[in-house]
Amino acid sequence: MTEPTGPKRWGRREVLRLAGAGVGAGLVGSAGLTGCGFGSPSNNGGEDSAAKKVSGGFDWKKHKGTTLRLLMNKHPYTDALKAHRGEFQDKTGIKLAIDEFPESNYFDKVTLELKSRQGNYDAFMLGAYMVWQYGPPGYLEDLGPWMHNSSATHAEFEPDDFFPNLIKAGQWNFVNGAPLGGKQQWMLPWGFETNTVCYRSDVFAKLGLKPAESFDDLTELARTLKAKAPGAGFDGMYGIAVRGSREWATIHPGFMTMYSREGLKDFKVEGKKLVPTMDSPEAVDFTSRWAKMVRDAGPSGWTSYTWYQASSDLGAGKAAMLFDADTASYFQNVDTPAAGKLAWHPGPKGKDGSLATNMWIWSLAMNSSSKKKPAAWWFLQWATSKEHLLWAGTKQQHIDAVRRSVADNSAYKDRLKAVPGFLDTFQTVIDQTKIQFTPQRNFFDATTSWAAALQEIYGGADAKATLDKLAKDLEPRVNG
């Protein structure tokens, strides 16, 4: 539900190969785009936006009779939308035609659609990092002018209700290294995942163990579990599952979360230049310890592990801990051998008690080539509304809430209170959960290479030499 199931499959967060031949260990297809983008994005403050033409009082029925085409990934969020779309259609008179594709080829479809500029689809799902690739070519409609036009946006939309770091994740000026934020809004948060630790509470209880509060404690805990769990009746169980495949998605969940908590950065900005910092002495030390933790207490075959293998091992009773997306573990708590035996914890604190946490966001965006932009905006504001998201969060599997009003709702809380530690963990890390990477157009290329370097270190290569080479190789690529 969160990543491709193998090195040649793309999934929920697999990159579109948008940076062309430079991205992803030979994963190049006809859908690839140039790494630095092309075309002329709408970067003029929205002065030419179609939103400027919308006037008068807001009316949900204003576009009655319109049919919108949506390009969606197969996902619980899409399931919730389909289950609730009758409400939208009755409210607006707008019909939704949903084309849904499996994770293995969803982003192929998106990339080809956007690149064609035909406007066959009006809105679609994407992730925050993809704004860094789709935005510069001008494929995304700036939603800012729509949001701030009271004739186009209903009074209860309340963008300030979104968690600040989630709404900000869709804002960027397309300048490498520039922080997220600003007036331009390229996507709206729909659902997201924070990265925390899920563990087998029964195993911990039997062995008298507690979740780790520091990274050193985590590595020791993982080794202890691998050594003692099999002898305590949990045959074949190892200590900790994390991702290891040679793709960008290996870096962003547990690894980047712990890396950030230790006070480390991927790049520093010097003038207009990005300088890789994953080869600093502190970063080298952390990466060495992470690789050793996996060697000592992780699964065999780790270099092929995506989100799917890692979370499946937790559910199957093979892994005692998973450091990954909280929803990846959440869905292992039903109809698996581990169901009813899982608990959640924020994971180790870093320097000065930091719980800096990286996240993934599933968002909704408007195709800048859509010929039905006003109706598409009516859909986007409804799909990300308090009304729909509360319904989806209490009646469907739309877990983690992107809006404060949903997260604070008693019915939503009551649902999650039944899952040991999940709600407490969410509430503990949410304010420090954000995109921890430096925004830059060659993100997928850089992080895929970073994952390859991590594999080499895991395999015994010298960490300093490997990361020095990585940094040297990346500098011209990210600044090209």
Average pLDDT over residues 226-231: 98
Phi/psi at 72 (5° precision)? -130, 150
The SS3 call for residue 342 is: strand
Average pLDDT over residues 88-99: 98
Using pLDDT thresholds of 50, 70 and 90, give the confidence band for residue 48: confident
Residue linked to tokens 């520091």: 214
Using pLDDT thresholds of 50, 70 and 90, give the confidence band for residue 103: confident
Whole-model pTM? 0.90
pLDDT tens-digit readout, 267-301? 999 999 999 999 999 999 999 999 999 999 999 99
Q: Taking 60 as the threshold, does the pLDDT of residue 20 lie above it?
A: no
Helical (H) or strand (E) element with 69:
strand 67-73
Average pLDDT over residues 364-377: 98
Q: Taking 70 as the threshold, does the pLDDT of residue 339 lie above it?
A: yes
- Among the listed residues 243, 181, 247, the one whose alpha carbon sits nearest the alpha carbon of residue 8: 247
**Helix-then-strand count for the chain, H and E:** 18, 9
- Among the listed residues 132, 256, 275, 138, the one whose alpha carbon sits nearest the alpha carbon of residue 193: 256
- Among the listed residues 305, 303, 299, the one whose alpha carbon sits nearest the alpha carbon of residue 321: 299
Residue 469: what pLDDT?
98
Give 69's strand partners.
97
Distance between CA 1 and CA 334 in Å, rounded?
14
Q: Taking 60 as the threshold, does the pLDDT of residue 146 lie above it?
A: yes
Residue 46: what pLDDT?
64
Residue 307: what pLDDT?
93
Share of the chain above pLDDT 90, in %: 88
Q: Taking 70 as the threshold, does the pLDDT of residue 356 lie above it?
A: yes
B/e letters for 258-289, b = 16+ CB within 10 Å, e = fewer, are bbbbbebbbbebeeeebbbbbbeeebbebbbb
Using pLDDT thresholds of 50, 70 and 90, give the confidence band for residue 124: very high
- Among the listed residues 49, 39, 46, the one whose alpha carbon sits nearest the alpha carbon of residue 137: 39
The answer to whether the CB of 186 falls within 8 A of the CB of 170 is yes
pLDDT tens-digit readout, 177-221? 999 999 999 999 999 999 999 999 999 999 999 999 999 999 999
The answer to whether the CB of 345 falls within 8 A of the CB of 211 is yes
Q: Taking 60 as the threshold, does the pLDDT of residue 390 lie above it?
A: yes
pLDDT tens-digit readout, 238-270? 999 999 999 999 999 999 999 999 999 999 999
Residue 235: what pLDDT?
96
Q: Tell me the DSSP string of 6-51.
A: STT---TT----TTGGGSSTT---TT---TT--S----STTTT-GG
Residue 351: what pLDDT?
86
442: left (phi over 0), alpha (psi -120 to 50) or beta: alpha
C-alpha radius of gyration, the chain, whole number:
22
